[in-house]
């Protein structure tokens, strides 16, 4: 949370960091104090207090941006490719199916 302005009287006036962001400190004054979730992750809730709230994209998916707010921001590997890890960054994390095998979309 952060608070803009002076003379506020309630913690309810503190503004939640947006989805895709978190903030660990006390007494923050603007949204710029909210940190972006890392590549390979997303985070759907508002007002999160640490990076553990950022969820890893699942197997078969990757994500190359910071501050993503939806699981749909995780991109599926292309047909003919697979990927078994969590929190992967970039389509180079997807592997080609081997000889004699295929994987359709």
pLDDT, tens digit, 9 for 90 and up, residues 46-91: 999 999 999 999 999 999 999 999 999 999 999 999 999 999 999 9
Question: Would the pLDDT of 103 be above 80?
Answer: yes
Q: Is residue 104 part of a domain?
A: no
* Domain membership flag for residue 33: yes
Determine the Cα–Cα distance for residues 63 and 39; give it in Å rounded to an integer: 6
- 52: Cβ–Cβ under 8 A, 6 or more apart, which residues? none
Distance CA 36, CA 32 (A): 10
In a domain, 78, yes or no: yes
Q: Could you tell me the pTM of the whole model? A: 0.81
Measured from the Cβ of residue 63, the count of other Cβ atoms closer than 10 Å reads 23
Residue 77 lies in a domain: yes
- Domain presence at residue 4: no
Q: According to the model, what pLDDT value does residue 28 have?
A: 79
The per-residue pLDDT for 25 is: 86
Domain boundaries, position 57 = 11-96
How many structural domains does the chain have? Answer: 1
Tens digit of each residue's pLDDT (9 = 90 or more) over 1-35? 554 555 555 566 788 899 999 999 887 778 888 99
pLDDT value of residue 3? 47
Category of 72 on φ-ψ map: left (φ > 0), alpha (ψ -120 to 50) or beta = alpha
């Amino acid at each position: 949370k952060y608070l803009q302005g002076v003379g506020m009287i309630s913690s309810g006036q503190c503004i939640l960091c947006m989805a895709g962001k978190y903030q660990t400190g006390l007494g923050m004054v603007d949204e710029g104090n909210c940190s972006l979730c890392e590549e390979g992750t997303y985070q759907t809730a508002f007002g999160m207090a640490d990076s553990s709230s950022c969820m890893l994209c699942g197997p078969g998916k990757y994500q190359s941006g910071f501050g993503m707010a939806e699981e749909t921001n995780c991109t599926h590997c292309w047909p003919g490719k697979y990927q078994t890890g969590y929190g992967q960054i970039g389509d180079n994390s997807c592997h080609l199916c081997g000889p004699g095998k295929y994987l359709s979309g």
